[in-house]
Every structure is written in C-alpha cells, then in structure tokens.
Structure 1
Amino acid sequence: MQFGIFTVGDVTPDPTTGRTPTEGERIKAMVAIAQKAEEIGLDVFATGEHHNPPFVPSSPTTMLGYVAARTESLILSTSTTLITTNDPVKIAEDYAMLQHLADGRVDLMMGRGNTGPVYPWFGQDIREGINLAIENYALLRRLWREDVVDWEGKFRTPLQGFTSTPRPLDGVPPFVWHGSIRSPEIAEQAAYYGDGFFHNNIFWPADHTKRMVEFYRKRYAHYGHGTPEQAIVGLGGQVFMRKNSQDAVREFRPYFDNAPVYGHGPSLEDFTEQTPLTVGSPQQVIEKTLSFREYAGDYQRQLFLMDHAGLPLKTVLEQLDLLGEEVVPVLREEFAKGRPAGVPEAPTHQSLLTAARKAGEKKAEGKKAEDKKEAVA
C-alpha cells in the first residue's frame, strides 16, 4: 500500500500571527515538503492544479520536474490534473516528458476542478464538464497508446496523422487515477478503462464514500478487469497531530476556524466526527485511518493533506516527522494484515512495464501457435 501527502497549494494567512507567505515562499515550501516526504519514507507526493488565487500550483509538471531532480524514489503525482480545461495533447506531452525526467516515477489524477470561472478562462463551458472529461480523456489515452492519431471530436480542432512527443517512457503511459468526490460518471469512467479511482473524502461522511467506492468496484468488475476487490482505490485524509491530543486540538483550532474552505462552519468537533479529519495524537490518526478499510475495503493509496489553512512550514515539517516516525510504519503493518492475496498493489511504472512485456510475450506465443496451425493445415 502506498502512503503519501497531497497539497492544494493555498496561500493563506496564518490566523495566529496574521502573516501571509509570499507566493515564492509558498512554492518553495511545497518543494521542501516533497523532499521531507521522501526523507521520512513516504511513497507519494501529489500537487493540485489551480489557476486562481489564493492558490499557486498552476503548473504541476514544472514543480514536479523540479522535485524529480531533488528526489530519488518518491512517486510524483497530482491531486488534480484538469482534464476539462487543459488540452489533452499538452497533457500527453507534458507528463510523458516528466516520465522521462523522473525515470518513470510519475502518475496523475484526472479531475474536473471545482472553480467555475476557470472554465471560461480556458475557453470552455462548465456545463460541459462531464462531457469534456469523457472526450478529452478518450483522446489522451489514444495519444499515449497510438504512434499516429487521427481524431475528431466536439471540443478541440481535429488531428490528422498526429504524433505526440516524447512518447511515453518504455512505451508505457503513466498510470491514471480519476478523482471525484460526488460524480458517479467519473467513477464509471475509471471503471470502464480499468484505471484507478481516487475518492478525496476529506469533506464527506463515510456512508457517501462507501457508496462511491462500491459503485466503482462493481463497474470495474462489470467491464471485465477483475473482481470488485481487485479494483484500484485511493483515499484522501486530513490530520493534525501532537503527542498529546489536547495540545493538537488547541493548536489547530484557530487554523480550522479560519480555513478558507470549512472555516466559520461546523465546529472542529463536529467536523472530525463526521469526516476523515483527525486532530489528536498519532494513535488516534492510526485508529481513524485504519477504519477507512471498514467501508472502502482493501485499497491501494492513502494520501494525507497536512499543509493547508495557513499552517507554517515549520509546523508542517513537524507533522511529517510524526507521520513518518509514528504513524505510517504502524499503518503499513496493520493494513498488510489480512489483506487478501488477490488484492493488487498500487501500479507503478515498473509493474506496468512488466505487465506489458508479459502481455506482449503472450501475444507473440499465440501468433506463433496460430502460424504453426496454419502451416500444418
């Protein structure tokens, strides 16, 4: 099972000091957090994609390419790649380039985005969000899997004899997760292609997450990719820890109360009871995270949000030390217990390359047998 962190890259005032970091400081902080993630033994660092204040990660591949040069084993991912407002041709080229630079340590999560004005900024209509996601991703898959593409659709100019460059590393495209909080059409899309489904359940109760994940698993099996239990599932989570749970609640409360997304709404206590947010001791984080398996089944990737709401970098790095030293080692051990043998691990470039080679060998053997049969006849 993979463990990692994701960032939305918000530039938010620290409510305890009133200080707002500069955009440059926030960007450099995200890089420092990624490097810290590798240092403490996490598997994944994922960045969002936003094109509006107060967010800074408008160019995920630029940041991830920079991080790639400063890490060795960390999987570089996105917590949203906007499949609706980005040109699929540019996505195909940008992430294939990143693949080569990072020696395959790349995957990405497709999403529609949750900011309405972004659509017209990029010449699109938010009312076409689902249709854009479906058409654009269908084209992206072809661009990565076919050397020459002829294509015509509704939302971009036609392509004639087009080759996306560079080609995917080793002929194997990056693994794709489809991220959605509330849209069954996106879960259906993930199931249809046999891709991963990431439910960023940080704002939602367990029963909603359970319905979405179960729907994806059933449709995954329906399309013949395996059993429901073999579907590739990822979940989000939010944590804030101190050795003493009372200290964690006291320190985090002003950040929660003033957070851009959920501030001035439900109380911290109500929110932690109803959603995956955990504010407390490392043991409480362990117990809450392990409970996700009760309604999502055995899954492949767990990402935590830890650097939001104005938390200073020093505090985030302290949180990561606790995560790496006291939480993730226990989670790895506990999630491995009782995990059925047929449940796959999260795909990596190497595992996808191995599967592709085996499929090629099987196809060659089948053709050889067919040729021999025809020769005998």
Structure 2
Amino acid sequence: MQFGIFSVGDVTPDPTTGRTPTERERIKAMVEIALKAEEVGLDVFATGEHHNPPFVPSSPTTLLGYIAARTEKLILSTATTLITTNDPVKIAEDYAMLQHLADGRLDLIMGRGNTGPVYPWFGKDIRDGIDLALENYGLLRRLWREDVVDWEGTFRTPLQAFTSTPRPLDGVPPFVWHGSIRSPEIAEQAAFYGDGFFHNNIFWPPDHTKRMVELYRERYAHHGHGTPEQAVVGLGGQVFMRKNSQDAVREFRPYFDNAPVYGHGPSLEDFTEQTPLTVGSPQQVIERTLSFREYAGDYQRQLFLMDHAGLPLKTVLEQLDILGEEVVPVLRAEFAAVRRAGVADAPAHRSLLSAAAASEEVSAA
C-alpha cells in the first residue's frame, strides 16, 4: 500500500500571525515538503493544478520535474490534472516527458476540478464538463497507446496521422487514477478503462464515499477487469497531530476556523465527527485511518492533506516527521495484516511494465 501527501498549493494568511507567504515562498515550500516526504519514507507526493489565486501550482509538470531531479524513490503525481480544460495532446506530451525524466516515478489523477471560472479561461463551457472529461481522456489514451492517431471529436480540432512525442517510457503509459468526489460518471469512466479511482473524501461522510467506491468496484468487475476486490482505489484524508490530542485541537483550531475551504462554517468538532478530518494524537490518526477500510475495502493508496490553511512550513515539516516516524509504519503493518488475498498491488511503472510484457506473451501464444 502506498502512503503519501497531496498539496493544493494555497497561499493563505497564517491566522495566528497575519502573515501571508509570497508565491515564491509557497512554491519553494512545496518543494521542501516533497523532499521531506521522501526523507521520512513516504511513497507519493501529489500536487494540485489551479489557475487562480490564492493557489500557485498552475504548472504541475514544472514543479514535479524539479522535484524529480532532487529525489530518488518518491512517486510523483497530480492531485488533479484538469482533463476538461487542458488539451489532451499537451497532457500526453508533457507527462510522457516527465515520465522519462522521473524514470517512471509518475502517475496522474485526472479530474474536472472544482473552480467553475477555469472553463471560460481556457475556452470551455462548464456545462460540458462531463462530456469534456470523457472525450479528452479517450483521446489521451489513444495518444499514449497508438503511434499514429487519426481522430475527430466535438471539442477540439481533428488529428490526422498524428504522433505524440516523446512516446511513453518503455511503451507503458503513466498509470491514471480518475478523481471524483460526487460524479458517478467519473467512477464509471475509471471502471470502464480498468484505471484507478481516487476518492478525495476530505469533505464527505463515510456513507457517501462507500457508495462511490462500491459503484466503481461493481462496474470494474462488470467491464471484465477482475473482481471488485481487485479494483484500484485511492483515498484522501486530512490530519493534524500532536502528542497530546488537546494540544493538537488547540493549535489547529484557528487554522480550521479561518481556512478558505471550510472556515466560518461547521465547528471543528462537527467536521471531525462527520468527515475523515482527524485532529489529535498519532494513535487517533492511526485508528481513524484504519477505519477507512471498513467502508472502502482494501485499497492501494492513502494521501493526506497537511500543508494548507496557512500552516507555517515549520509546522508542516513537524507533521511529516510524526507521520513518517509514528503513523505510517503502523498503518503499513496493520493494513498488510488484514489485506485479503487477490487484492491488487499499488501501481508502479515496474509492475505495469511486467503486466504489459505478460499480456504480449499471452497474445503471441
């Protein structure tokens, strides 16, 4: 099972000091956080993609390429690649290039995004969101799997005898997760292609997450990719930890109360009761995270949101130390101990390459 962190790259004032980091400071902080993630033994660092203030990660490939050059083992991913407003040709080229530079340590989470105005900024209509996601991803798959593509669709100009370059590393495209909070059409898309499904359940109660994951698993099996248990599932989560749970709550409360995404709404206590947000001791985080399996089944990737709401870099790095030293080792052992036989492994370039070679041997026979 893979454990890691994802960042939305928000530039938010620290409510305890009133200071807002500069964009440069925030970008550099994201790099330092990724390096720390590898240092403490995490598997994955993922960045969001946003094109509006107060967010800075408008160019995920630039950020991840820089991090790739400074890491050795870390899998680099996107918390969302905007399949709706990005040209699928450019996605194919940019991420194949990054795949080569990172020696295969790359995958993507495709999503529609949650910022409505981004659509007209890139010449699209939000009312076409689902259709854009379906058409663009269908083209992207062909660009990565076919050397020469002839294609015609609704939302971009046709392609004639087009070859996307560079070709995917070793002929194996990056693994794709489809991220969605509330759209069954996206769960169906992931299932149809046999891709992964990532449910960023940071704002939703367990029963909602359960319904979305079960839908994906059922449709994955329906489309002939394996049993429901073999489907590839990832989950999000949010944590803030201190040795003493009361200290964690006291320290995190002003950040929660003033956060752009959920501040000035439900209380911290209500939010932690109704969603996966966990603010407390490392043991509480362990117990809460292990409980995700009760409604999501055995899954392959767990990402945590830790660097948001104006938390200073020093605090985030302290959180990563706790996560890597006290939490993830226990989670690895506990999840492995109860994992059922036949559950798919977490995707990685080497395993995808082996699977492709095995498939070619079967086809040749």
Q: State which structure, 1 or 2, has the greater radius of gyration over its C-alpha atoms.
A: 1
Aligned to 2:130: 130
SS in 1 for 2:226: coil
Distance between the aligned counterparts of 1:248 and 1:174, measured in 2? 38
Q: CA deviation at 1:309?
A: 0.1
Q: CA deviation at 1:255?
A: 0.1
Distance between the aligned counterparts of 2:99 and 2:164, measured in 1? 14
Aligned to 2:268: 268
Q: CA deviation at 1:363?
A: 1.6
Distance between the aligned counterparts of 1:108 and 1:204, measured in 2? 22
Distance between the aligned counterparts of 2:240 and 2:251, measured in 1? 9
Distance between the aligned counterparts of 2:238 and 2:347, measured in 1? 24
Distance between the aligned counterparts of 1:141 and 1:350, measured in 2? 19
Aligned to 2:76: 76
Q: Which moved more, 1:335-344 or 1:222-231?
A: 335-344
Aligned to 2:18: 18
SS in 2 for 1:197: strand
Distance between the aligned counterparts of 1:184 and 1:338, measured in 2? 29
Aligned to 1:370: none
Q: CA deviation at 1:362?
A: 1.7
Distance between the aligned counterparts of 1:51 and 1:216, measured in 2? 29
The residue correspondences of 1:168-317 to structure 2 (distance < 5 A) are 168-317=168-317
Q: CA deviation at 1:177?
A: 0.2
Distance between the aligned counterparts of 1:133 and 1:15, measured in 2? 37
Q: CA deviation at 1:101?
A: 0.2
Q: CA deviation at 1:338?
A: 2.1
Aligned to 2:346: 346
Show CA shifts across 1:56-110 (max 9, x none): 0000000000000000000000000000000000000000000000000000000
Task: Give unpaired runs (5+ residues) of structure 2.
Answer: none
Q: CA deviation at 1:19?
A: 0.1
Query: Alignment RMSD, CA only?
Result: 0.4
Q: CA deviation at 1:216?
A: 0.3
SS in 2 for 1:237: coil
The residue correspondences of 1:22-171 to structure 2 (distance < 5 A) are 22-171=22-171
Q: TM-score under structure 1 normalisation?
A: 0.97
The residue identity in structure 1 corresponding to 2:267 is S
Show CA shifts across 1:291-333 (max 9, x none): 0000000000000000000000000000000000000000000
The residue identity in structure 1 corresponding to 2:92 is A
The residue identity in structure 2 corresponding to 1:232 is V
Distance between the aligned counterparts of 1:145 and 1:362, measured in 2? 18
Distance between the aligned counterparts of 2:116 and 2:208, measured in 1? 23
Task: Give unpaired runs (5+ residues) of structure 1.
Answer: 367-377
Q: CA deviation at 1:265?
A: 0.3
Distance between the aligned counterparts of 1:319 and 1:356, measured in 2? 38
Distance between the aligned counterparts of 1:335 and 1:49, measured in 2? 30
Aligned to 1:8: 8
SS in 2 for 1:337: helix
Distance between the aligned counterparts of 2:32 and 2:46, measured in 1? 13
Q: CA deviation at 1:128?
A: 0.2
The residue identity in structure 2 corresponding to 1:134 is L
- Matched pairs, number: 365
Distance between the aligned counterparts of 1:288 and 1:347, measured in 2? 24
Distance between the aligned counterparts of 2:116 and 2:274, measured in 1? 27
Distance between the aligned counterparts of 2:195 and 2:78, measured in 1? 15
Distance between the aligned counterparts of 1:358 and 1:240, measured in 2? 43
SS in 2 for 1:46: strand
The residue identity in structure 2 corresponding to 1:239 is V
The residue identity in structure 1 corresponding to 2:77 is S
Q: CA deviation at 1:345?
A: 1.0
Distance between the aligned counterparts of 1:291 and 1:359, measured in 2? 36
Distance between the aligned counterparts of 2:345 and 2:356, measured in 1? 16
Distance between the aligned counterparts of 1:135 and 1:360, measured in 2? 27
Show CA shifts across 1:168-207 (max 9, x none): 0000000000000000000000000000000000000000
The residue identity in structure 2 corresponding to 1:320 is L
SS in 1 for 2:76: strand
The residue identity in structure 1 corresponding to 2:81 is T
Distance between the aligned counterparts of 1:362 and 1:208, measured in 2? 40
SS in 1 for 2:279: strand
Distance between the aligned counterparts of 1:356 and 1:280, measured in 2? 44
Distance between the aligned counterparts of 1:339 and 1:280, measured in 2? 26
Q: CA deviation at 1:344?
A: 1.1
SS in 2 for 1:182: coil
Show CA shifts across 1:330-377 (max 9, x none): 00000001211200111100000001111112222x2xxxxxxxxxxx
Q: Which moved more, 1:194-203 or 1:336-345?
A: 336-345
Q: Structure 1 vs Structure 2: percent identity of aligned residues?
A: 88
Distance between the aligned counterparts of 1:363 and 1:163, measured in 2? 25
The residue identity in structure 2 corresponding to 1:75 is I
Distance between the aligned counterparts of 1:283 and 1:340, measured in 2? 24
